[in-house]
Amino acid sequence: MNQTVLILDFGGQYAQLIARRVRESNVFSLVVPSSITVSEIKKINPIGLILSGGPHSVYDNNAPDIQKDLLKLNIPILAICYGMQLIAKKEGTEVLRAEKREYGRTLVLVDNSSPLFSDMEKAQEVLMSHGDQVKQIPKGFVRIAYSENCPIAALEDRERKIYAIQFHPEVKDTKNGKLILRRFLYEICKASGDYTMKGYINNEIAKIRERVKDGKVLLALSGGVDSSVAAVLIAKAIPNRLYCVFVDHGFMRKNEPEEIKAYFSSQPINFVGVDAVERFGEALKGVSDPEAKRKIIGKMFIEVFAEEAKKLGNIEYLAQGTIYPDVVESGTGKAALIKSHHNVGGLPEDIKFIGIVEPLRGLFKDEVRKIGRILGVEKRIVNRQPFPGPGLAIRIIGEPTKEKLSLLKEADYIFREELQKAKIRSDQYFAVLTGNQSVGVKGDSRSYEYTVALRAVKTSDFMTCEYTRIPFKVLTKVSNRITNEVSGVNRVVYDITSKPPATIEWE
């Protein structure tokens, strides 16, 4: 059992990013609802607690809270932003609206005699994002950081090992953020750093064997990195009892179904290919709402898998390549729903499987890639950029008709081909067929055709991202090719929005 740090989630989307940063330091982290009880925490026996930020004021009605006895557990605590304000309130100190709110990069001065900031420069650039602030130093605490507009930017009670900071160490805009977290983990929590991907693989193999026993598993195989790595991991745990079903729903990228079938048919697994193009297309006729499209596709996936399981006989478990960001964005605890994922939310009541096997559910994308490399998955599969389960159906704004699908497949293929030729480094890139049509000129004639949006991003964890700075020369070539080669498109735009405020996908 790994040493564990619990991240108490107060509804901020950064809670999962905190978890990722902790794992980067080789310490296992687990995100739990802020409502977790003291007795539940004792059962887990963590070496440390991190209280996340959140969108609320501590004085809001129904604002997330903690049991006061949590501060008496003698477990090191790091409270961030909202977490800091909550602890101050619990300790009898006022939290008020700041005279001047702080959003963005801010210079703070720290006390580097504190274990949290030891051996660091006194002046540091951090990311602030708060409208409230602590007005007085609680009894038993001392101030260990301040900024021009935030007189109390960090606190410590060294005796009780409680530390609180107003800024966000989990984001890259905080220069020493990772180091601050390491100080908390190793200097204050005394972590041993026992969390590794090799250890994770061994633990998951043991869990799969214990749960499945002599049963058979049916895996939803998309050919992407997540389901591919899940397939190899499960096959290692239960050789010859894994059946990988690839459903061609008609919304894959150009040439992908053929490539997936060719690769996995040659692998030592029980591969089953299902052509469901007409079935999915029929189900999505007249459907424009993105959430409706996702749910219809998700429901149909389950139906097809159940049918294939019945044909194969005695398949007890359904496996999926679900990863942590899928779960996060589908809404957990008090965190907001961003978008539902077809592989999140559990099984319908009438499903014929005993349960679900999801060996990657607790991992971030880069962790999945690391596991894939350790397991020997081919480089071109491990490094394949993410592709949503519903495929191009949610990259077509509005109803995903055959005509629109044909346009998007060609435009997307051109964009990916030109970026590869130009050797542009980007973690994910694709085209979107917007619902907008506009006036244009082709030849000597007026055209009224679709607009294609291009999206390319750089990210390490897919929880946040920045757009890729593609040279104008490359973008011009892509635009010229799409408008000339793809009938029905007369305008191309490039999306330069980061995440947040946007998501990587448009729908």
Last residue of a domain, one of 133, 156, 188: 188
Which one is catalytic: 24, 56, 81, 156? 81
Position 99 scores a pLDDT of: 63
CB of 170 closer than 8 Å to CB of 14? yes
Note whether residue 208 is domain-resident.
yes
d(CA 359, CA 337): 23
**Of 168, 188, 208, which residue sits at a domain end?**
188
Residue 502 lies in a domain: no
Q: Determine the Cα–Cα distance for residues 412 and 144; give it in Å rounded to an integer.
A: 52
Q: Which of 210-219, 339-348, 412-421 is predicted least confidently?
A: 339-348
The pLDDT value recorded for residue 305 is 77
Contact 47, 25 (CB under 8 A): no
- How many structural domains does the chain have? 3
Closest to 343 measured CA to CA, from 397, 386, 376, 313? 386
Instruction: Evaluate whether 8 touches 44 at the Cβ level (below 8 Å).
Output: no
Q: Kindly state whether residues 277 and 325 are assigned to the same domain.
A: yes
- Known catalytic residue at 170: yes
pLDDT > 70? residue 328: no
244 among known catalytic residues: no
Say yes or no: 75 and 100 in one domain: yes
Main-chain phi, psi angles of 197, to 5 degrees: -70, -35
Q: How many whole angstroms separate alpha carbon 165 and alpha carbon 180?
A: 10
In a domain, 505, yes or no: no
* Pair of tokens at residue 116: 């949290």
pLDDT level of residue 100 (50, 70, 90 thresholds): low
Residues 78 and 226 in one domain: no
Average pLDDT over residues 51-64: 88
Domain that includes residue 153, residue range: 4-188
Question: pLDDT of 121-155, one tens digit each?
Answer: 999 999 887 778 898 999 999 999 999 888 999 99
* Helix, strand, or coil (residue 204): helix
Q: Which of 91, 102, 156, 170 does the annotation list as catalytic? A: 170
- Does residue 500 lie within any of the structural domains? no
Q: Say yes or no: 370 and 225 in one domain.
A: yes
- Do both 315 and 420 map to the same domain? no
Residue 98: which H helix or E strand, with range? strand 95-110
Check 56, 130, 168, 342 and give the catalytic one. Answer: 168
Within-domain flag for 246:
yes
Is residue 501 assigned to a domain? no
Cβ-contact 194, 2 below 8 angstroms: yes
CA–CA gap between residue 322 and residue 342 (Å, rounded): 9
417 given a catalytic annotation: no
Q: Contact at 8 Å (CB) between 229 and 319?
A: no
Q: Are residues 63 and 170 in the same domain?
A: yes
pLDDT in tens, 234-286: 999 998 899 999 999 999 999 988 888 888 887 778 999 999 999 999 999 99
Residues 10 and 137 in one domain: yes
What letter does residue 70 receive in the DSSP assignment?
Answer: G
Residue 5 has pLDDT above 70, yes or no: yes
Q: How many residues does the chain have?
A: 507
CATH code (residue 465): 3.30.300.10
Residues 223 and 371 in one domain: yes
All residues at 6 or more sequence positions from 253 whose CB lies less than 8 Å from its CB, including other chains: 387, 391, 392, 409, 412, 413, 416
pLDDT over 90 (residue 287): yes
416 and 354 in one domain?
no
CATH number for position 68: 3.40.50.880
Mean pLDDT calculated for residue range 458-487: 92
Q: At what angle do helices 197-212 and 365-375 cross, to 10 degrees?
A: 80
> Domain for residue 52, yes or no?
yes
The better pLDDT of the pair 164, 1 is held by 164
Q: How confident is the model at residue 183 (pLDDT cuts 50, 70, 90)?
A: very high
- Residue finishing a domain among 382, 410, 438: 382
**Is pLDDT above 50 for 343?**
no
- Same domain? For 202 and 250 the reply is yes
Do 286 and 378 fall into the same domain? yes
Q: Could you read off the pLDDT of 237-248 as tens digits, one per residue?
A: 998 899 999 999
pLDDT tens digits along 344-375: 444 445 556 788 899 999 898 889 999 999 99
Is 345 inside a domain boundary? Answer: yes
Per-residue pLDDT, averaged over 414-419, amounts to 97
Same domain, 439 and 347: no
